[in-house]
Amino acid sequence: MSDVVAETPRRGEDAPVLARLSTLDRFLPLWIVAAMAAGLLLGRAVDGLDDALDAVRVGDVSLPIALGLLLMMYPVLAKVRYGELGAVTGDRRLLGASLVLNWVVGPAVMFALAWAFLADHPEYRTGLVIVGLARCIAMVLIWNDLSCGDREAGAVLVAINAVFQVVAFGALGWFYLDLLPGWLGLDQTSLDVSVWDITRSVLVFLGIPLVAGYLTRTLGERRLGREAYESRVLPRIGPFALYGLLFTIVVLFALQGGTITSRPGDVALIAVPLLAYFALLWAGSMVLGRALGLGYARSATLAFTAAGNNFELAIAVAIGVFGVTSGQALAGVVGPLIEVPVLVGLVYVSLWARRFFPGTGTGAPPAATPLGGHR
């Protein structure tokens, strides 16, 4: 593992961020592609592996995936300076823009793209709409950290998404799958989702790592002081976010490898509207953030929280309502297949686009250790 350190630029610094990434972070796309390939090969080569991995579940999610997600999120949440969250909650422009993008624009864009590209494939269309309704509360923290986004803003926006997910997911599902199609004279679908199932997903995949991260930060600073905590503790636990991400990808694709590789044409069909969705949401959010004067760090956070989706919830809902072999479930599985490499690519686009933002922007974090780097 490289000892090259890449820190998020401090306010007023203009050093090229891409050049300062550690070797491990710079080649993250390669590790992710390798993890996806390894998962697909394992799923195809080892008989019964998918059943073994899926034998024990946390709610509706395979235990290995749950462990990977928790391992992935904990180090990022241990980096958050919780005492500085007040400055984020006071930024009405950021909070308002995030709410509109996540709960109005995002689902509407996915609905439009699903009907535009998959009008003749009702199962895939429904699956994509479900993906659009599941706003990201987990992996987005990784993309935000890698893009040098505002870590405290990311924590606040993820928490807001979690609350709205519990309150709004079922209602939006009814609106976009039943009510709105009925108004437009289109085919209707019913979505029976338990509020408790969604709440449990939020409590497990956000609540546990959030509490662990908060306690680690609070106790660590109390014992060592902030400077020592950030220079000695964070570099030790930081790489585990990357390990958790890669492990989650391997397990996810091992579970679904047979489905994906046996239906490549359908995967490509579903991938087209997903690519359009991620590009439109991310680019539109970055432009909006710059127009609102949020600066680079918070604009990047806004963009990734708007473009990312909660794939574990979308897959669980699709499987629970329509069945594991359904087209809706396949659409949910294709979600991370497209989202992971696309958003990794957008991390590097973000770092390049930083030059178009004046200064370092409101809310730029003082310093950050990259996921795979050491001080």
Q: What is the 3-state secondary structure (H, E, C) of the chain?
A: CCCCCCCCCCCCCCCCCHHHCCHHHHCHHHHHHHHHHHHHHHHHHCCCHHHHHCCCEECCEEHHHHHHHHHHHHHHHHHCCHHHHHHHHCCHHHHHHHHHHHHHHHHHHHHHHHHHHCCCCHHHHHHHHHHHHCECCCCHHHHHHHCCCCHHHHHHHHHHHHHHHHHHHHHHHHHHHHHHHHHCCCCCCCCCCCHHHHHHHHHHHHHHHHHHHHHHHHHHHHHHCHHHHHHHHHHHHCHHHHHHHHHHHHHHHHHHHHHHHHCHHHHHHHHHHHHHHHHHHHHHHHHHHHHCCCHHHHHHHHHHHHHCECHHHHHHHHHHHHCCCCHHHHHHHHHHHHHHHHHHHHHHHHHHHHHHCCCCCCCCCCCCCCCCCCC
Number of domains in the chain: 1
368 part of a folded domain:
no
How big is the CA angle at 37 (ends 21 and 242), to the nearest 5 degrees? 35
- Flag whether 365 is in a domain: no
pLDDT given at position 241: 83
> What pLDDT is attached to residue 6?
37
pTM (two decimals): 0.80
Residue 175 lies in a domain: yes
Domain boundaries, position 277: 18-356
CATH of the domain at 44: 1.20.1530.20
Question: Is residue 8, in this structure, part of any structural domain at all?
Answer: no
Residue 363: the pLDDT is: 41
Residue 198 lies in a domain: yes
Structural domain contains residue 320? yes
Per-residue pLDDT of the chain (375 residues; tens, 9 = 90+): 333 333 344 433 444 555 555 566 667 778 888 888 898 888 777 777 777 777 777 666 678 878 888 888 888 889 888 888 887 888 899 999 999 999 999 999 999 999 999 999 999 999 999 999 988 877 788 889 889 999 999 989 988 888 888 888 888 999 999 999 999 998 888 777 777 777 877 777 778 888 999 999 999 999 999 899 989 998 888 888 888 888 888 887 887 777 777 778 898 999 999 999 999 999 999 999 999 999 999 999 999 999 998 887 888 788 778 876 788 888 888 888 888 889 989 998 999 999 899 865 444 443 444 454 433
User: Considering the domain boundaries, does residue 214 fall inside one?
Assistant: yes
- Say what the pLDDT of residue 124 is: 94
